[in-house]
Amino acid sequence: MIEDELLQFDKSMNEFRNKYFNTLNDTSGQMMGLRDTYKDSMKAFAEKLVVKLKEEERMVEMVLEYKTQLSRQNEQIVSCFKNKAIATANKAVGERLKRLQKSADVYKDRLGLEIRKIYGDKLQFVFTNIDPKDPDSPFMFSLKLNEARDYEVSDSSPHLECLAELQENLRKTKNFSAFLANVRKAFVAMVYNA
């Protein structure tokens, strides 16, 4: 009976082994198939990844090229704007200088007023055509802006007693044309009262 059981056990073991090896062979075949499928899908994925990376590199290159072009265009626009602004400013300054020169010529010709820049950042105002007996005789005063940005009048020749009062009036009103007219009137009054 033990022999029969041993034979039966041996038979069962052989069946189990055959079934196991068949299953193992089937599983091995399936595993090999899965491995091959995995390799094929990984190869396809790697190829797609390489294509995507090349596309991204081209996109990065295009973005950098576009950025460079924009930078150049911005530089050109800024340069053009600066040139136009400078040209406009130069034109405006030139026109203002012409107007100032014309005004200076009118003052000099009609009022006998000449303006000179002198030492100490002062302007010297010289009037002529005041004394009818000597039209070329100069009547002058000096003017500057002090640290407080107020007008400071000095050095009148001949000396005007009312110069301090005229200076205060100028500081209050900031009306320089009226100040010049009042100084001229004071010089004229001095000549006629003498």
pLDDT value for 61: 93
pLDDT in tens, 66-110: 999 999 999 999 888 888 878 888 888 788 778 867 776 776 777
| Of residues 96, 136, 95, 143, the one with CA closest to residue 115 | 143
pLDDT, mean of residues 15-33? 69
Better pLDDT: 23 or 139: 139
User: Rounded mean pLDDT of the chain?
Assistant: 85
DSSP letter assigned to residue 151: E
pLDDT exceeds cutoff 70 at 25: no
pLDDT in tens, 162-177: 999 999 999 999 898 8
How many other C-beta atoms can be found within 10 angstroms of the C-beta atom of residue 127?
Answer: 21
